[in-house]
């Protein structure tokens, strides 16, 4: 009977440690999932902001090119080589 008690106690101890490990892994997994979801939201927001900024830069470049052409320049400055060439 002493052997059975020891093996049961040992099994319960191993089970307790195992359950603690599982709980720790579950908590870590939950934290990582939350972090990934937060980062995904941030990336999606930044993607929208980059798209808006890209359109604005393109619009400004077109507007400036039109001003340069309207000012009598033959080609927009962006298309001309620098003066030191």
Q: What is the pLDDT of residues 10-52, one digit of tens each?
A: 555 665 667 788 899 999 999 999 999 999 999 999 999 999 9
Q: What integer pLDDT is reported at residue 1 of this predicted model? A: 45
- What is the enclosing helix (H) or strand (E) of 38? helix 2-70
Nearest to 59 by CA among 71, 51, 69, 70: 51
**List of residues 6+ apart from 51 with CB closer than 8 A:** none
Residue 8 has pLDDT above 70, yes or no: no
């Amino acid at each position: 009977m002493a052997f059975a008690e020891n093996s049961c106690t040992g099994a319960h101890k191993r089970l307790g440690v195992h359950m603690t490990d599982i709980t720790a892994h579950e908590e870590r997994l939950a934290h990582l999932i939350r972090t990934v979801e937060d980062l995904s939201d941030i990336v999606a927001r930044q993607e929208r902001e980059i798209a808006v900024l890209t359109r604005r830069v393109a619009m400004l470049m077109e507007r400036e090119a039109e001003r340069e052409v309207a000012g009598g320049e033959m080609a927009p400055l962006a298309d001309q080589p620098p003066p030191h060439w």
